[in-house]
């Protein structure tokens, strides 16, 4: 019989209206990499929050290294040797690596001052031992996201953790950084640590983990040996049915250039150039993906195209017409549809009814607008009814449902429905599937491809390289506000795109530019 | 696999339904809160050793003109009640309109003063043509209040100036500006101007005859039109839809192409317009001369309470304005019946305090839902 580092037996946690964990059992062996797989809302994070002392379970028991324990807060978890690398780092940006690591545990000299140099030595030792190559004196704001994650790892190693929980650690990393993280995980294991890896990415599990526990809708589905189980089998356990990984699509038939961006510079809110002299074409009937790590000018580029941000220099043409100075409304009317990155902030009025949300971009047109500025709320509800049916949106009270009371997937479907219903010439889609479950992702991808096949131009921004690779016809890699290279998706190699996302020029330059513009 | 438990007795579910429906209804809570306020007032009167029946007799006389102790009837009381309610309703609409569009207009008082002052000037210097004169004064008051509000809206939209701070400050500016300007009028002393010409007054002969010579005036039509306008704009029009969208989520509204700066300015202008009209109705309906204000009339501030109790809906604000108007105009009748008139202020104060119970009821509702979820283990699907 194996020695278990962690045993969570029949753990139950109930939140108002939902059972987040329903008698979930997790057994993690000593010194293994154990993955927890599940869709959003499957209860992975809740389970780990219970283990880390953030939630009190409503039932079940927890054993750490064979002993029954009750973990009431994160300090108790730390005392038991459990550490967690959160998805969103908790670092002080103007502090050094060492200062961040010792925060709350400052080693004191006899006179009461902090022994920073001693701490730096210890951090350097740990970094060396686990192959993390972190400079203990670097300021957090000057190091990369991947490096920041290693600081988080060091933070828990410094606290002598031997059970390390990683919550979706690859969400913020470039492909190269993901590779490096995978080897760090293996190194940690070689040094005797036990690792729990929370993820919904099967490839990472295949690469790093030995065993995998699958959760679905708060329930325990099973634990499998990773080596003897295919990705398809794990996906089916996760979703509850067979899943297609590839998006079904015919080869693109690109037509005329719909969106033409010429030498565009956009300033960030802080006044730095966030988009620098960027040029890009999107043709009718193709999906162009913008691959890049978050914060490399994608948001500013979208805002410039949709009119939310001012263009500093350069031009934006829609079907040959200069739209650089048009208002947001005029751009909507010119044929730009926009699925925004932040659906709660920009996409929906959460306190409006669903049908009022559908009407946000067409309330000023017939049939909803009637004479003398009066709105026809009956027509609005009818339209709501139609779109709910057409896009399979689940809303408890139909068109009268408050957007706030709908699930994330259905909110996103509602935004997509509204934007596609406008029949835009250009559809700008940002992070369309973030936080959604596999079923909703499949559906939304299908809709985007259908729009392409109708001859629309689609510009897709996503931080998930898999999504870009699966959905797009051409891929433009963006780094620090510049297009590093544009490649054909069919011929694209993930590694090359990853390199370009990190700023290394290597892709094939988009050769067709310049010729088409003579007409306008 | 765990078996789902569904064993919940039917009557319990029913009771939950009724309570939840009650909590969900803002109107029902307002009604309860008003009743609670009166209950407290009644207890208070008993505590000071007076007969609460006298208070209700005074209120009945205010509402119907019927004096239950003497058995006489005088319609003038009804007229005075409505007259007192008119500026309260308008200021309630002012506050409510801002609230429905995501703004907190604490400056109805200043907008009211601007409307009042503009109306006084037009009354004294406008063309003395019957019918046109008071109409011009109404228009001037409307515009003055609207501009005073729009200024705040524009500052907020353009430079992110908090409307709360801006309106409070502008209340003082309006007050002292009104005093200064009115005192410039020739033959004005420290508290009043000469009398208005007859053509400026909002007098309505028919109303006077019907209500036995009360001050009830043409302003009643203005109030009725305003309530209809409020309902129509908020609930039915493109403008109302845009303003509400901006109020709930400015960013999403902007993303959809709504001009947010214009929306916020328009909201505050309409809100100020209501308060400005309240100023006109008081200036030309209740007085025959211009006043050099010696203090604030407080209609603007009371409007906040009116809108709160009325849930910022057109009908609710109308009813709640009538309620507060009733309490105000019942005061002399109460005093003549040995009821301290201050009890009316206590009741209206308590009603406003109790309105915050709405949040408490929401908490109860959430807590109950949690309990049900824990017991039944219900899950979506």
Task: Please give the mean pLDDT across all residues of chain A.
Answer: 87
Compute the distance between CA of residue B279 and CA of residue B297 in angstroms, rounded to an integer: 10
Q: Is B116 within the bounds of a domain?
A: yes
- Distances in Å between the Cα of B312 and the Cα atoms of B24, B26, B78, B89 are 16, 10, 25, 11
> Is the confidence at residue A178, as pLDDT, over 80?
yes
Cα dihedral A484, A486, A491, A492 in deg (nearest 10)? 40
- Kindly tell me if the per-residue pLDDT of A509 is higher than 70: no
Last residue of a domain, one of A185, A211, A239: A239
Report whether pLDDT(A512) > 50: no
Helix and strand counts by DSSP (H, E) for chain A: 16, 20
Query: In this model, does residue A437 exceed pLDDT 80?
Result: no
In this prediction, residue A244 carries a pLDDT of 65
User: What's the CA gap between A102 and A419, in Å, rounded?
Assistant: 49
Which chain A residues are Cβ-neighbours of B377 within 8 angstroms? 14, 19
Q: Say whether residue B363 is in contact with chain A using an 8 A CB cutoff.
A: no
Query: Is the residue at A281 inside a domain?
Result: yes
Q: Is residue B150 part of a domain?
A: yes
For residues B67 and A463, give the distance between their C-alpha atoms in angstroms, rounded to a whole number. 77
Output the domain CATH number for residue B96: 1.10.3470
User: Mean of the pLDDT values across residues A366-383?
Assistant: 89
Chain segment B118-151, per-residue pLDDT in tens:
999 999 999 999 889 999 999 999 999 999 999 9
Which residues of chain B, if any, have pLDDT below 50?
1-14, 376-381
- Are A170 and A73 in a shared domain? yes
Largest CA distance in chain A: 82
On whether both A470 and A396 belong to a single domain, the answer is no
What integer is the mean pLDDT of A402-407? 83
B22 touches chain A (CB under 8 A): no
In the structure, what pLDDT confidence band is assigned to residue A39 with cuts at 50, 70 and 90? confident
So what's the pLDDT on residue B374?
55
Q: Is B366 on the interface with A (CB under 8 A)?
A: yes
Burial A15-27 (b: 16+ CB within 10 A, else e): eeebbbbbbbebb
Q: What's the rounded Cα separation, in Å, for the pair B243 and B105? A: 15
> Radius of gyration of chain A from Cα atoms?
25
Pairing relation of β-strands A33-37 and A211-216?
Answer: parallel
**DSSP state for residue A104 in the 8-state scheme:** T
Specify the higher pLDDT residue, A324 or A437. Answer: A324
Candidates A46, A216, A217, A346: best to mutate against B (most CBs of B within 10 A) is: A346
Tell me chain B's radius of gyration from C-alpha atoms.
24
Domain of residue A381 covers: 342-405
Establish if A308 touches chain B: CB-CB under 8 angstroms. Answer: yes
Which of B2, B239, B369 is nearest residue A17 as measured by Cβ atoms?
B369
On whether any CB of chain A is under 8 Å from the CB of B245, the answer is yes
Is the pLDDT score of A282 beyond 70? Answer: yes
> ipTM, 2 decimals?
0.80
Residue A353 CA, chain-centre distance (Å), reads 27
Contact B255 A377 (CB under 8 A): no
User: Count of CB atoms within 10 A of residue A108's CB?
Assistant: 9
Residue for token pair 């080897």: A183
Question: Are A265 and A313 in contact, with CB atoms under 8 Å apart?
Answer: yes
Helix (H) or strand (E) holding A402: none
Domain identity same for A374 and A487 = no
State whether residue B272 is helix, strand or coil: helix
B127 domain residue, yes or no: yes
Disruptive mutation site among B4, B237, B238 for chain A (greatest number of A CBs within 10 Å): B238
Q: What is the mean pLDDT of residues A188-200?
A: 91
Q: State the sign of the Cα–Cα–Cα–Cα dihedral A298, A304, A307, A312.
A: positive
A127 shares a domain with A219: yes
DSSP state of B212: T
* Residue B213 DSSP symbol: S
For residues A238 and A215, give the distance between their C-alpha atoms in angstroms, rounded to a whole number: 7
A62 in a structural domain:
yes
Inter-CA distances, A196 with A29, A34, A130, A156, Å: 10, 5, 17, 14
Provide the chain B residues 224-243 that lie in CB contact (below 8 A) with chain A. 236-239, 241-242
What pLDDT was estimated at residue A505?
Answer: 75
What pLDDT is stored for residue A286 in this prediction? 94
Is the pLDDT confidence value at A135 over 60?
Answer: yes
**Distance of alpha carbon B84 from alpha carbon B216, whole angstroms:** 9
Closest Cβ opposite residue A375 in set B238, B249, B252: B238
Domain that holds residue B167: 51-339
Q: How far is CA A381 from CA A30, A354, A355, A367, A387, in A?
A: 58, 9, 6, 11, 10
User: What is chain A's length?
Assistant: 520
Write the DSSP assignment of B156-193 as a string of letters: HHHH---HHHHHHHHHHHHHHHHHHHHHTSTT--SSEE
Assign residue A57 the CATH number of its domain. 3.40.50.300
Where residue A264 falls among pLDDT bands split at 50, 70, 90? very high
Q: Is residue A247 part of a domain?
A: no
Q: Does A104 touch chain B (CB under 8 A)?
A: no
Is the bond leading into A367 cis (omega within 30 degrees of zero)?
yes
How far is it, in rounded angstroms, from Cα A507 to Cα A393?
A: 40
Q: Pick the residue of A16, A217, A333, A366 with the most B CBs within 10 A to test the interface with B by mutation.
A: A16
CB contact under 8 A, B248 and A361: no
Shared domain for A478 and A501, answered yes or no, is yes
A365 touches chain B (CB under 8 A): no
Nearest CA in chain A to B249: A349
Q: Which residues contact B153 (CB under 8 A, 6 or more apart)?
A: B103, B163, B264, B265, B266, B267, B268, B269
- Please tell me if residue A60 touches chain B, with a CB cutoff of 8 Å: no
Q: Does A329 touch chain B (CB under 8 A)?
A: yes
Q: Cα–Cα distance between A176 and A159 in angstroms, integer?
A: 28
CB contact under 8 A, B254 and A345: no
- Please say which residue of A405, A439, A454 terminates a domain: A405
Question: Over 90: is that where the pLDDT of A172 sits?
Answer: no
A459 and A311 part of one domain: yes
Query: Domain for residue B353, yes or no?
Result: no
Could you tell me if B191 and B130 are in contact, meaning their C-beta atoms sit under 8 angstroms apart? no
Q: Is B161 exposed, middle or buried (0-12, 13-18, 19+ CB in 10 A)?
A: middle
Q: Cα separation of A216 and A211, whole Å?
A: 17
pLDDT at position A218 is 87
Contacts of A338 in chain B (CB under 8 A): 255
- A168's torsion region: left (phi>0), alpha (psi -120 to 50) or beta? left
Q: Are residues A317 and A437 in the same domain?
A: yes
Please check the confidence at residue A517 and state whether its pLDDT lies above 60.
Answer: no
Contact A328 B239 (CB under 8 A): no
Instruction: Name the token pair of A392.
Output: 């399979």
Which residues in chain A touch residue B100, judged by CB atoms under 8 angstroms apart? none
Q: Could you tell me how many residues make up chain B? A: 381
8 A C-beta contact, residue B78 and residue B63 = yes
What is d(CA A48, CA A57) in angstroms, rounded to the nearest whole number? 11
Report yes or no: A247 at the B interface, CB cutoff 8 Å: no
Q: Are residues A387 and A321 in the same domain?
A: no
Same structural domain, A211 and A359? no
Q: How far apart are CA A91 and CA A95, in angstroms?
A: 8
Residues A500 and A392 in one domain: no
Cα A148 from chain centroid (whole Å): 18
Which of 148-187 (B) contact A at CB < 8 A?
none
Chain B residues touching A18 at Cβ < 8 A: 373, 379-380
Domains of chain B: total: 1
CB-based contact A327 B257, cutoff 8 Å: yes
Instruction: Establish if A490 belongs to a structural domain.
Output: yes
Distance separating alpha carbons of residues A310 and A296, to the nearest angstrom: 17
Q: B2 CB near a chain A CB, below 8 Å?
A: yes
Which of A181, A183, A174, A159 lies closest to A100, judged by CA?
A159
Who wins on pLDDT, A504 or A357?
A357
Q: Is residue B301 part of a domain?
A: yes
Distance (Å) from the alpha carbon of A24 to chain B's nearest alpha carbon: 11
What was the pLDDT predicted at B361?
77
Ranges assigned E (strand) in A200-320: 211-216, 219-225, 257-267, 273-283, 287-291, 313-318
Helix (H) or strand (E) holding A322, with range, is strand A321-322
Q: Which residues contact B112 (CB under 8 A, 6 or more apart)?
A: B87, B91, B145, B275, B276, B278, B279, B282, B297, B299, B300
Q: Are A199 and A207 within 8 A, CB to CB?
A: no
Which residues in chain A are closer than 8 Å to B2, comparing Cβ atoms?
Answer: 22-23
H/E stretch holding A101 reads helix A97-102
Do β-strands A33-37 and A18-29 pair in parallel, antiparallel, or remain unpaired?
unpaired
Instruction: Identify which of B237, B257, B378 has the shortest CB distance to residue A332.
Output: B257
In percent, how much of chain A has pLDDT > 90? 50
- Count how many domains chain A has: 3
Q: Are residues A23 and A123 in the same domain?
A: yes
**Residue A246 belongs to a domain:** no
Residues A388 and A284 in one domain: no
Distance of alpha carbon A465 from alpha carbon A471, whole angstroms: 10
- Determine contact, residues B80/B216, Cβ cutoff 8 Å: yes
């Amino acid at each position: 019989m194996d020695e278990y580092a962690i045993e969570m037996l029949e753990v139950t946690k109930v939140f108002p209206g939902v059972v987040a964990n329903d008698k979930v059992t997790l057994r993690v062996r000593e010194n293994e990499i154990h993955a927890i797989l599940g869709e959003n809302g499957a209860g992975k994070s809740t389970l780990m929050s219970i283990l880390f002392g953030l939630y009190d379970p409503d039932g079940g028991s927890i054993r750490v290294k064979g002993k029954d324990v009750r973990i009431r807060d994160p300090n108790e978890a730390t005392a038991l040797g459990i550490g967690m690398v959160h998805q969103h780092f908790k670092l002080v940006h103007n502090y050094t690596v060492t200062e961040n690591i010792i925060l709350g545990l400052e080693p004191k000299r006899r006179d009461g001052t902090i022994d920073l140099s001693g701490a730096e030595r210890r951090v350097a030792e740990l970094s060396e031992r686990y192959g993390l190559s972190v400079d203990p004196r670097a300021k957090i704001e000057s190091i990369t996201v991947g490096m920041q994650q290693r600081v988080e790892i060091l933070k828990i190693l410094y606290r002598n953790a031997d059970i390390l929980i990683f919550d979706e650690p690859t969400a913020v990393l470039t492909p190269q950084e993901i590779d490096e993280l995978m080897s760090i995980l293996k190194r940690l294991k070689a040094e005797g640590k036990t690792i729990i890896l929370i993820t919904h990415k099967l490839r990472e599990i295949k690469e790093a983990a030995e065993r995998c526990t699958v959760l679905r809708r708060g329930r325990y589905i099973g634990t499998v040996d990773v080596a003897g189980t295919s990705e398809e089998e794990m996906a089916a356990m996760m979703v509850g049915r067979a899943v297609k990984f590839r998006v079904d699509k015919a080869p693109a038939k690109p037509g005329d250039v719909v969106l033409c961006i010429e030498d565009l510079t956009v300033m960030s809110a802080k006044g730095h150039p966030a988009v620098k002299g960027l040029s890009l074409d999107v043709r009718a009937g193709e999906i162009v993906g913008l691959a890049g790590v978050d914060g490399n000018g994608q948001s500013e580029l979208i805002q410039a195209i949709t009119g939310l941000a001012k263009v500093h220099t350069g031009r934006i043409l829609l079907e040959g017409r200069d739209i650089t100075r048009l208002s947001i409304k005029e751009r909507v009317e010119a044929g730009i549809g926009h699925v925004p990155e932040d659906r709660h902030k920009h996409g929906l009025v959460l306190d409006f009814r669903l049908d009022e949300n559908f009407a946000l971009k067409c309330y000023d047109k017939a049939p909803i607008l009637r004479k003398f500025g009066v709105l026809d709320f009956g027509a609005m509800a009818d339209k709501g009814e139609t779109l709910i049916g057409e896009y399979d949106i689940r809303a408890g009270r139909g068109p009268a449902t408050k957007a706030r009371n709908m699930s994330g997937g259905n909110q996103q479907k509602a935004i997509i429905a509204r934007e596609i219903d406008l029949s835009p010439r250009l559809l700008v889609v940002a992070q369309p599937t973030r936080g959604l479950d596999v079923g909703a992702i499949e559906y939304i991808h299908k809709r985007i491809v259908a729009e392409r096949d109708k001859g629309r131009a689609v510009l897709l921004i996503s931080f998930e390289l898999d999504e870009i690779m699966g959905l797009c016809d051409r891929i433009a890699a963006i780094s620090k506000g510049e297009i590093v290279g544009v490649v054909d998706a069919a011929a694209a190699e993930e590694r090359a795109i990853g390199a370009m996302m990190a700023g290394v020029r290597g892709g094939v330059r988009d050769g067709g530019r310049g010729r088409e513009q003579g007409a306008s | 696999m765990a078996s789902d438990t569904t064993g919940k007795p039917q009557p319990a579910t029913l009771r939950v339904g009724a309570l939840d429906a009650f909590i969900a209804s803002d109107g029902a809570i307002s009604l309860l809160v008003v009743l609670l306020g009166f209950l407290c007032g009644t207890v208070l009167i008993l505590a000071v050793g007076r007969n609460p029946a006298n208070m209700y007799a005074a209120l009945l006389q205010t509402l119907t003109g019927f004096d239950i102790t003497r058995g006489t009837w005088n319609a003038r009381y009804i007229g005075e009640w409505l007259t007192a309610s008119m500026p309260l309703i308008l200021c309630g609409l002012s506050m409510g309109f801002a609230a429905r569009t995501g703004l907190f207009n604490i400056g109805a008082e200043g907008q009211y003063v601007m409307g009042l002052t503009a109306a006084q000037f037009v009354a004294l210097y406008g063309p003395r043509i019957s019918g046109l004169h008071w109409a011009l004064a109404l228009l001037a008051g409307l515009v003055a209040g609207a501009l005073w509000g729009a200024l705040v809206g524009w500052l907020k939209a353009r430079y992110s100036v908090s409307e709360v701070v801006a309106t409070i400050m502008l209340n003082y500016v309006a007050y002292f500006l009104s005093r200064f300007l009115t005192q410039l009028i020739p033959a004005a002393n420290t508290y009043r101007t000469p009398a208005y010409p007859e053509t400026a007054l909002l007098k309505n002969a028919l109303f006077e005859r019907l209500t036995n010579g009360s001050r009830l005036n043409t302003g009643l039509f203005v109030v009725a039109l305003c309530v209809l306008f409020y309902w129509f704009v908020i609930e039915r029009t493109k403008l109302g839809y845009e303003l509400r969208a901006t109020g709930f989520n400015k960013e999403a509204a902007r993303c959809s192409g709504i001009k947010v700066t214009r929306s916020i300015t328009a909201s505050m202008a309409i809100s100020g317009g209501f308060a400005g009209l309240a100023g006109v109705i008081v200036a030309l309906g209740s007085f025959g001369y211009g006043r050099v204000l010696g203090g604030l009339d407080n209609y603007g501030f009371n409007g906040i309470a009116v809108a709160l109790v009325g849930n910022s809906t057109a009908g609710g604000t109308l009813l709640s304005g009538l309620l507060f108007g009733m309490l105000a105009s019942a005061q002399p009748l109460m005093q003549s019946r040995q009821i301290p008139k201050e009890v009316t202020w206590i009741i209206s104060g308590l009603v406003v305090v109790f309105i915050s119970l709405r949040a408490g009821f929401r908490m109860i509702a959430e807590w109950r839902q949690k309990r049900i979820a824990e017991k039944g283990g219900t899950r979506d699907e």
